[in-house]
Amino acid sequence: MKIVVLLGGESEERDVSLASGAQVAKGLRAMGHDVVSVDPACGLVGVSQEKSHLRGTIPRFPSSEAQDFGSFRGLLEYVDELTTADIVFPVLHGGMGENGTIQAVLDLLEVPYVGSDMFGCALAMNKDLTKRLLRAADISTPDWILPSTVEEVIETLSFPLICKPVDGGSSVGLTLVTNKESLELCFASAKAGGPSLMYENFVSGRELTVGVVGKDTLPVGEIISKNELFDFECKYRPEMADEIFPAAIEERIASTVSKIALEVHDLLGLRDLSRIDFILDEQETLWCLEANTLPGMTANSLLPKAAEAAGFSFQEFCEKLLLLAERRVPRNMHSID
């Protein structure tokens, strides 16, 4: 099959996406597919460039390079590549790659692709809307607020609390707030032109994550971070966290958290793949934090580690995701054989 991998993009998660996309392109070629990689911000990515992204180390902090790119410039120049592909495999994290914009473009072009559609992506990317749906479905999620003033936060929540962008990913901008002074710094950052922020009660406990593929869950994982929070640095630097698959938890807890993960996946209208994150507190209550529609696919990412624990090689896992998307293609259009 001819596959177009979308990687890079214009968000702060650009570096992660380049590494993820290069891994996916390599895996799909190993399965015999004809793969072309396209960066929506810059254009065609050659095999030699992919290899450099595979060899490179992801920086400790999110990329600011993407600010120099014009959105969709590279994508619009390669529309022919998209429209002649059997399947497009987006590996874009954050921004337009994960908020439904790229998916809307692909739908407009009538190009089949891996992953959730524009509605599922947009909904999961907005943490406030996600949590509203979780609460309506009686799925436990920490109390939160989108405030106008510092005083509103203090009156509604209690320290410590978490400050994070309403529509960010990869834990970009995640901050532990322990007092009024640090809270005021978060507000000052938002007023200076930063992202819209939400505030959430901090729940202490074990951090669990569940990958969903198709209608099934992968083995539950546990994340033990070297920092106070599982932030951007811990996610993508292997020395900064222990990621255990399967998690050393009782079977009844693993079964329950897997069941809730599937409920969240369906509640948000997601498809093909997602990763749902939880906290297990000391009273064994499971708190759902968020859903990720295009989780990282780097060598150090959680979803590929979960797939490996389930017995899939990386290339087999990529092929499985491709097959899920291919099943939605009308029979008279393409065949995976």
CA 57 to chain centre: 19
Distances (CA, A) of 78 to 8, 104, 276: 15, 16, 33
Looking at the chain, the domain(s) classified CATH 3.30.1490.20 span: 144-201
Domain 144-201 maps to which CATH number in 3.30.1490.20, 1.20.1630.10, 3.20.20.220, 3.40.630.30?
A: 3.30.1490.20
In sequence order, the β-bridge partners of residue 176 are: 162
Instruction: Classify 59 as helix, strand or coil.
Output: coil
CA 314 to chain centre: 17
Closest Cα partner for 86 from 144, 134, 162, 28?
A: 28
Predicted confidence at residue 74, as pLDDT, reads 60
Residue found by looking up tokens 């929540």 in the block: 157
Closest Cα partner for 162 from 197, 138, 134, 191?
A: 197
Closest Cα partner for 10 from 41, 43, 49?
A: 41
With beta carbons less than 8 A apart as the criterion, state whether 263 and 256 touch: no
Looking at the chain, the domain(s) classified CATH 3.30.470.20 span: 125-140+203-310
Which H or E run includes 38?
Answer: strand 34-39
Closest Cα partner for 109 from 75, 151, 144, 158?
A: 75
Q: For residues 23 and 18, what is the distance between their CA atoms, to the nearest angstrom?
A: 9
Distances (CA, A) of 333 to 85, 102, 105, 112: 11, 22, 19, 10
Predicted confidence at residue 194, as pLDDT, reads 59
DSSP state of 2: E
Hey, what CATH topology would domain 125-140+203-310 get?
A: D-amino Acid Aminotransferase; Chain A, domain 1 (3.30.470)
Predicted confidence at residue 73, as pLDDT, reads 61
Predicted confidence at residue 330, as pLDDT, reads 73
Looking at the chain, the domain(s) classified CATH 3.40.50.20 span: 2-114+316-326
Q: For residues 19 and 297, what is the distance between their CA atoms, to the nearest angstrom?
A: 8
Residue found by looking up tokens 């002649």 in the block: 84
pLDDT averaged per 10 residues, the chain (length 337): 93 88 96 94 87 68 47 72 94 89 93 96 95 98 94 93 79 79 86 76 95 97 73 49 92 98 98 97 96 90 95 96 91 50
Task: Supply the CATH classification number for the domain 2-114+316-326.
Answer: 3.40.50.20
SS3 percent helix, strand, coil of the chain, rounded to 5, is 40, 20, 40
Q: Which residues in 111-254 belong to E strands, given as ranges?
A: 144-145, 161-165, 175-177, 197-201, 206-213, 216-217, 221-225, 241-244
